[in-house]
A and B are shown apart, each in its own frame.
Chain A
Amino acid sequence: MLTLQIVPYAEISGLSSIGRIRKLLNIAKENKIVLLEGRLTKEEETELIKVTMEEINKNFRGIELAVLEPEQGDMGGLAKIRKGFANVLLGNRTGLTVIGPANVVKQIKKDPNKIQLLTQESRSRKKKKKK
């Protein structure tokens, strides 16, 4: 059974960087797919990869990660400044971050505006179809 856990940004906003990473990774290690409202900072994303590597063992093979961000192309200069300021104060609440344990999620395909999760089940179904 596939379990998705939605994490509102408010749940991690009060935590330190390592606290955020630990919280999200702990959920993924329970074989749940994390849907985080908003995104981590670039530095936190890198730290997430680093901590993931430190935790890999025979039961936990790592994560699949994808971040979906809203289009910013047509955003005006003032709107961009306002958004940057809000991000500094409140954290980046726009977009969506998906963290799937590699045992469950085999691949995340990402086009600019959509995310496709390829799970182990859908892969085996594909194989059966081919037969």
Chain B
Amino acid sequence: MIKLVKKFINKVLINIFQKKKHIKLGLYGPPNAGKTTLANRICQDWLGEDMGKVSNIAHETREIQIKEQISLKKDGKELSFNLVDTPGIATKIDYEDFMKVGMKEKAAKSRAKEATKGVIDSIKWLDEMDVVIVVLDATKDPYSQVNITIIGNLAARDIPVLVVGNKVDLKKANMKKVQAAFPQYELIGISAKYGKNVDEFYEALFVLAG
């Protein structure tokens, strides 16, 4: 009996410390919002290497990608996490959309099939996350149901969320509209591509996950 209690306590303690050491930080959002561009920015800044390939064609990331042991250091503080870049979540995937941007039918169909699997994997991985950054395209309509569903789900699971409005370097970006759509969340406008406001983003990350 004592052995069993000891085993249980050890297991609980190991779980607590493992969780603290290996925070899973997920990047979620709709397709083409710039999740992988942000992942690359983080990896370049702290590891000196890229994480994944980016493209203007939607659903470039079709598999979960993980970069382990990233350590952010700032003012004597350190934040270590495993970065999880997820495929964009969508409610529809049409291979003809890929053909419209120049892909051959066979490649377009294959991309669509992989993309649907990617969305399913992203949703399955929601439960695994400790902290999530929701990356939205600040030039697009923030009231899309996909955005609302992702953020609502994270709230229901009590997962801390940071909402990032990406692509603020573009004239069409409208951060006021994004903030109006999610008034209860802290919002940071960044350009992952050009590094604009990335320091503020890291500070917010320390506050959220540190």
Chain A residues packing against B (C-beta within 8 Å) = 41-43, 45-46, 49-50, 52-54, 56, 61-67, 102, 108-112
- Complex CA gap A42/B143 in Å reads 15
Main secondary structure of the interface of A (DSSP, over half): mixed
Cβ of B116 < 8 Å from any Cβ of A?
Answer: yes
Cβ of B110 < 8 Å from any Cβ of A?
Answer: no
Cβ of B153 < 8 Å from any Cβ of A?
Answer: yes
Q: In the complex the two chains form, is B120's CB within 8 Å of A53's CB?
A: yes
Q: In the complex the two chains form, is A111's CB within 8 Å of B143's CB?
A: yes
A42 nearest CB neighbor, chain B only: B152
Which of chain B's residues have a CB closer than 8 A to the CB of A110?
141, 143-145
Q: In the complex the two chains form, is B94's CB within 8 Å of A43's CB?
A: no
Question: 9 smallest A-B Cβ distances: which pairs?
Answer: A62-B92, A102-B92, A42-B152, A53-B116, A61-B94, A110-B143, A65-B145, A45-B149, A53-B119
Cβ of B161 < 8 Å from any Cβ of A?
Answer: no
Cβ of B51 < 8 Å from any Cβ of A?
Answer: no
Most buried by A among B124, B148, B155: B148
Residues of B69-124 at the interface with A, using a CB-CB cut-off of 8 Å, are 89-94, 112, 116-117, 119-120, 123-124
Q: In the complex the two chains form, is A49's CB within 8 Å of B89's CB?
A: yes
Interface 1/0s, chain B 172-205, versus A by CB < 8 A? 0000000000000000000000000000000000
Cβ of B58 < 8 Å from any Cβ of A?
Answer: no
Q: In the complex the two chains form, is B120's CB within 8 Å of A54's CB?
A: yes
Which of chain A's residues have a CB closer than 8 A to the CB of B92?
52, 56, 61-64, 102
- Complex CA gap A1/B112 in Å reads 28
A sample of 11 cross-chain residue pairs with beta-carbon separation below 8 angstroms, ordered by A number, consists of: A49-B123, A52-B92, A53-B93, A56-B93, A56-B112, A61-B92, A61-B93, A62-B90, A62-B94, A64-B92, A110-B145
Q: In the complex the two chains form, is A49's CB within 8 Å of B141's CB?
A: no
Cβ of B156 < 8 Å from any Cβ of A?
Answer: yes
- Given A54-B120, A61-B92, answer yes or no on A46-B149 (Cβ-Cβ < 8 Å): yes
B155 nearest CB neighbor, chain A only: A42
Which of chain B's residues have a CB closer than 8 A to the CB of A45?
145, 149, 152-153
Q: In the complex the two chains form, is B149's CB within 8 Å of A42's CB?
A: yes
Which of chain B's residues have a CB closer than 8 A to the CB of A46?
123, 126, 149, 153
CB distance from A45 to the nearest CB of B (A): 5
